[in-house]
């Protein structure tokens, strides 16, 4: 009951500390940082923190004394930005009155600069075309990154299981219990960690820790799915076999979502991929948290 109360309290704090709308989520911190997910936002006042927008467009009309990051969205600047502007899978448009004192970087996108716009730092286009034109290339890059991430997860997972085999065998024996609670805890943890990593993306430490936690979470979720699959096939309960089976299954599903559903639409591909990835990461993080709480209780 205590843990359930803590979870409910965290959920209430998360909801009351965020502005949740039908069109997405927007979160602002006391130091001026702003994070928006699946929502278009307009900055029409002076901002002293960083701005992060995921799957939404950003319109900057007020001065920004920080960095700007947009993922799967376009950025339009009609003011002064003292930090860096990074756009991934989107375009950056600078009007005549725009001034950027840092660098402007567009990854799989384009930089559109009006005559009077100024960029004091570097101007860089990586695969400098618009998002729609390079959809096929994005699918290829997504497939490669998925496989590379799975390879890292495989190597790290085998190492951790070998070093701490008893621990992972113990976790595997109870991994199917309290699945709903694990997913709930993991989803809250995944959202919190993702927002923290986005807000502090300019510091290398937090994103690295975030990736490491996702890899470890992927190890646990792979063990979970592997145990379910092997149990269905009556193939025993070997932690190594379960891990490899689960990881292979998860990787194949991700690759199929990327490559073999093009007739359903590119946007649908992306949404399904991220929903499945979020589910896998939430389950893995939830298993980690449940194991940690259980160890503290015992």
Per-residue pLDDT reduced to its tens digit, 232-260: 777 666 788 888 888 998 988 888 877 76
Average pLDDT over residues 7-26: 45
Looking at residue 183, its pLDDT comes to: 83
Looking at residue 100, its pLDDT comes to: 92
Give exposure, 140-175, as e/b (b: 16+ Cβ within 10 Å).
Answer: ebbeeebeebbeebbeebeebbeeeeeebeebbeeb
Q: What is the residue-averaged pLDDT of the chain?
A: 78
Q: How many helices (H) and strands (E) does the chain have?
A: 7, 16
Between CA 88 and CA 107 the distance in angstroms is 5
Among 35-49, 57-71, 113-127, the range of highest mean pLDDT: 57-71
pLDDT at 66 over 70: yes
Give the residue with greater pLDDT, 184 vs 20.
184
Looking at residue 260, its pLDDT comes to: 65
User: What one-character-per-residue DSSP string does 223-252 give?
Assistant: HHHHHHHHHHTT----HHHHHHHHHHHHHH
Residue 268 neighbours by CB under 8 Å, 6+ apart: 261
CA distances from 92 to 22, 98, 144, 181 (A): 26, 11, 26, 41
Q: Where does residue 94 rank: exposed (0-12), middle (13-18), buried (19+ CB within 10 A)?
A: buried
Looking at residue 5, its pLDDT comes to: 39
Average pLDDT over residues 96-109: 86
């Amino acid at each position: 009951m205590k843990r359930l109360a803590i979870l409910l309290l965290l959920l209430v704090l998360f909801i009351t500390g965020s502005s949740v709308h039908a069109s997405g989520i927007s979160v602002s911190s006391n130091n001026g940082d702003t994070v928006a997910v699946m929502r278009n936002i307009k900055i029409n006042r002076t901002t002293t923190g960083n701005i992060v927008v995921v799957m939404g467009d950003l319109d900057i009309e007020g001065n920004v004394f920080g960095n700007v990051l947009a993922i799967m969205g376009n950025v339009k600047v009609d003011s002064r930005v003292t930090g860096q502007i990074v756009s991934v899978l989107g375009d950056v448009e600078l009007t005549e009155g725009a001034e950027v004192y840092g660098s402007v970087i567009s990854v799989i996108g384009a930089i559109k600069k009006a005559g009077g716009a100024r960029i004091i730092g570097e101007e860089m286009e990586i695969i400098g075309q618009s998002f729609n034109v390079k959809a096929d290339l994005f699918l290829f890059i997504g497939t490669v990154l998925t496989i590379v991430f799975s390879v890292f997860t495989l190597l790290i997972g085998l190492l951790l299981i070998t070093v701490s085999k008893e621990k992972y065998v113990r976790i595997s024996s109870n991994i199917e219990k309290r699945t709903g609670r694990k997913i709930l805890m993991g989803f809250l943890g995944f959202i919190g960690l993702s927002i923290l990593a986005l807000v502090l993306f300019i510091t290398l430490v937090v994103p690295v820790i975030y990736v490491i936690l996702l890899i470890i979470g992927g190890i646990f979720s792979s063990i979970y799915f592997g145990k379910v699959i092997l149990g269905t096939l009556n193939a025993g309960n070997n932690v190594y076999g379960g891990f490899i089976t689960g990881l292979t299954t998860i990787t194949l599903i991700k690759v199929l979502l990327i490559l073999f559903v093009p007739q359903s639409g590119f946007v649908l591909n992306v949404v399904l991929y991220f929903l499945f990835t979020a589910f896998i990461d939430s389950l893995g993080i939830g298993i980690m948290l449940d194991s940690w709480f259980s160890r503290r209780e015992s």
